[in-house]
A and B are shown apart, each in its own frame.
Chain A
Amino acid sequence: MAKYDFNSSRYARFFSSQSNIRFLQTYVDNVALFQTNFGFWKENFVKADTMTPVSPEGPAAFMVKAKIADAAPLMDLRDRLGDTNTMDTEGISFYTGTIPDLAAPGIKETALERYNKELQFAEFGNDADIINAWTQKVQTLKDSADSTLSNMSAQLLSTGKIIWNYGKGNYAPLQKAEIPARNFKSAGEKVWTAADCNILAQMVELEKNYREESGFAGAMKWQIPYEMFHNVLLKNAEVKLWIKDYRYHASLPWEANAVPTEEVFRQAIVDYPGLSPIEVVVEKQRNVSHSGVTTVHGWDSKTAVLRPQGFAGNIMYADLIDVKLGQMYSASNIIYQAAQLEGGIYSLVNTTCDNGRFKEWHTDVLMSAIPALTEFPNHVIVDTTVADA
């Protein structure tokens, strides 16, 4: 005979009736419990202020707008009484997009598995181990959602597009930001991997030319993927020479042919004139499809990005129709419990349903969200493998 009633355990209450509807949300809101292991998206995008409504016709459409800027022209020489010529004004550039729905692989627990847990509970009188195990599984689902947003963010930043070819569901192009054609640049005089390429000088030249043609005067930064930073930048001859000279003038020891570390590089580069700060992009995700498991990067490996400092855009998110339907109209033998993660971008849904003669419990993390660029008129994408014509 069981010592304790499993159905009043905390674990059971994550799935049970509507009177405990806040219990799951309270648990997940405990910030110490769930980590963000794939936080690249959080470094570059911030959640949109409001949820995007889903139109009855199907799309959940959002719009992002930004002002197009051109550099100011020189003045016209005029007679004292001459009137002014009228300035051409550029408009506001915008693009709309729709928000897709995504789902992490779900956790399913059958009645026999639950019975096994109940026996454990009776043995130990405490459901902490069971909750711990379940929390770790839910952490995996949250990681799945975080890595999805991170992959999309990296794709959008480095290519201006998001194309979804991962997982075991649908594959489709999802979004193309309205980055002006002039913002797609080639590497400069030489490709960055060339032994005699002056990478830093080319980077400065790219930025200077862009600022002149667009008139953009705000702070910018470079974003360079990890492999490119370590294998191309840090091994570049100009970089090594700069560091050697810097350390010589600062009376710091250095061996001429040493490969610098990131810390040494950052210390030396502060003084390089006209070079905006360089941020190293670290992101990778795990793709599980029917053809196998691979490691993928959302960031295009040959691309460096020059963009305004700060967040690049918003995470647009929409309502989840099956969660809404489940909470409003679920069949009488189905129990739906949902909690929000990340302020509403993800939903954690616990469902209790029938399977034959017994019950079954499902835990899913669902998301209807996609990043959108808000600084797209000033977002510059540099293909480092193609030299200027």
Chain B
Amino acid sequence: MGTLNENYGVYNGTVLLQQRGTIGGSRSVFVGLKGNKNDLVLVPTGGIVQNPFKSKAKIFAGDLIEFIPNYNGATAKCYLLKTFTVAEDVVSSTVNLLDMAATASAPTATALSQNYFDTTTKKIVPSKSDGAGGFEWDADNAAAPVATAIYVDLSDGDKTYLWQTNQMVLTAVTSGKVYIKRSGYTHKPEAGVMYMKAPSTKDATGTAASFSSVVEKSIAGLGDVYECTMNGAESLGSLAENDILVESAATVAGAGASVLVKNPNTVAPYDYDFLFEPATGDEDFDGARYMMTPVLHSVMIKSKMSAIPAYVELINKSLIQGWFEL
């Protein structure tokens, strides 16, 4: 009959469909001060959000925003400070089991990752590679295996070299994956966006990398997390539990990257839900452009805010422990 219009259509049959969800509770982030507060002081014009979420996601009351007013002929802008807390240590390179073994002669490096001892079948089997150049112990099994690895190097023809490593318990999850804490009050990481470990000062640089996919999971021992798979050979470096990741201004992965939001100077007064796909450029009239108006000042309870990186804590005006004042 005609071409499909993706926004409006007719289906001359029955469609059975459900939706479900919860309208969540709330968490009060602003400090209750007795007296007349003057916190909901809105800046003029507001700005266009430069780094909206590409998929359905939200930011929260008390989140920090960098507001740049129109002052040099460019539009007023808002940059959202999105922060992500690492749930578990990540070792960025392959665990070098060889280092743990005393040996007379070293095998070839390839032998290291070739085989391992499967505790279930009690056999030496080819390694379960996760495809990202890493070596995976007992993939997706939350219990860390305790095993003695035996490596057989056949590169010397007749001779074989056996190494018996010390018993070890690996707590690091696979290199190639980063686990980020997830709850009803956390920001959502996205594939294809450059992130980096938050540096200690706003101008310090670090290594930027992106994820190829982000999946919501519940893992015993870790709780609710986002399982983020690194994009190809990109790496965020070694991360420890509770490290904070932020968006990077870099457009390609690699070292020397700066953070995107260097100067958070305003506060989001309430939650904002990003439900529409953002515009891809000036010629995309159909994509969404988000405008928001942050407030200049507020006093917030740190434990109820989104994670605060070290370089942002430096601008905290409050001298009261546990509070953050802008």
A binds B: yes
> Does B303 lie at the interface of the complex (its beta carbon under 8 Å from any beta carbon of A)?
no
Interface residues of B in 66-86 (CB under 8 A from A): 69-76
The answer to whether A172 and B289 touch (CB under 8 A), given A91-B2, A103-B45, is yes
> Does A73 lie at the interface of the complex (its beta carbon under 8 Å from any beta carbon of B)?
no
> Does A142 lie at the interface of the complex (its beta carbon under 8 Å from any beta carbon of B)?
no
**Number of B interface residues, CB 8 Å?**
27
> Does A168 lie at the interface of the complex (its beta carbon under 8 Å from any beta carbon of B)?
yes
Determine chain B's interface SS by DSSP, over half rule.
Answer: loop
> Does B273 lie at the interface of the complex (its beta carbon under 8 Å from any beta carbon of A)?
yes
Q: Are B73 and A289 in contact (CB under 8 A)?
A: yes
Among candidates A58, A169, A173, residue contacting B45 with C-beta atoms closer than 8 Å: A169
Chain B: which residue is nearest A331 at the CB level?
B36
Interface residues of A in 323-340 (CB under 8 A from B): none
Chain A: which residue is nearest B45 at the CB level?
A169
A175 nearest CB across to chain B (Å): 7
A109 nearest CB across to chain B (Å): 17
Q: Are A171 and B44 in contact (CB under 8 A)?
A: no
B238 nearest CB across to chain A (Å): 40
> Does B225 lie at the interface of the complex (its beta carbon under 8 Å from any beta carbon of A)?
no
Q: Are A169 and B285 in contact (CB under 8 A)?
A: no
> Does B144 lie at the interface of the complex (its beta carbon under 8 Å from any beta carbon of A)?
no
Q: Scoring A residues 188 to 208 as 1 if CB is less than 8 Å from chain B, else 0, what string do you get?
A: 000000000000000000000
The answer to whether A171 and B285 touch (CB under 8 A), given A58-B290, A103-B45, A290-B70, is no
Contacts of A58 in B (CB 8 A): 275-276, 290
> Does A291 lie at the interface of the complex (its beta carbon under 8 Å from any beta carbon of B)?
yes
B33 nearest CB across to chain A (Å): 15
A266 nearest CB across to chain B (Å): 38
A197 nearest CB across to chain B (Å): 32
Among candidates A161, A169, A173, residue contacting B44 with C-beta atoms closer than 8 Å: A169
Contacts of B291 in A (CB 8 A): 170, 172
Determine chain A's interface SS by DSSP, over half rule.
Answer: loop
Contacts of B275 in A (CB 8 A): 57-58
Contacts of A289 in B (CB 8 A): 70, 73
> Does A114 lie at the interface of the complex (its beta carbon under 8 Å from any beta carbon of B)?
no
> Does B176 lie at the interface of the complex (its beta carbon under 8 Å from any beta carbon of A)?
no
Contacts of A103 in B (CB 8 A): 45
Q: Scoring A residues 79 to 112 as 1 if CB is less than 8 Å from chain B, else 0, what string do you get?
A: 0000000000001000010000001000000000
Among candidates A57, A170, A173, A291, residue contacting B285 with C-beta atoms closer than 8 Å: A173
* CA A172 to CA B50, docked complex, whole Å: 12
Chain A: which residue is nearest B44 at the CB level?
A169
> Does A211 lie at the interface of the complex (its beta carbon under 8 Å from any beta carbon of B)?
no
The answer to whether A175 and B285 touch (CB under 8 A), given A58-B290, A170-B48, is yes
Contacts of A57 in B (CB 8 A): 273, 275-276
List 9 A-B residue pairs with CB atoms under 8 Å apart, sorted by A's residue number. A103-B45, A168-B69, A168-B71, A169-B76, A170-B48, A172-B48, A172-B75, A173-B279, A290-B70
Q: Which 4 A-B pairs have the closest CB atoms?
A: A169-B45, A171-B75, A176-B285, A291-B73
Give residues in B with beta carbon < 8 Å to A. 2, 7, 44-48, 69-76, 273, 275-276, 279, 282-283, 285-286, 288-291
Give residues in A with beta carbon < 8 Å to B. 57-59, 91, 96, 103, 161, 163, 167-173, 175-176, 289-291
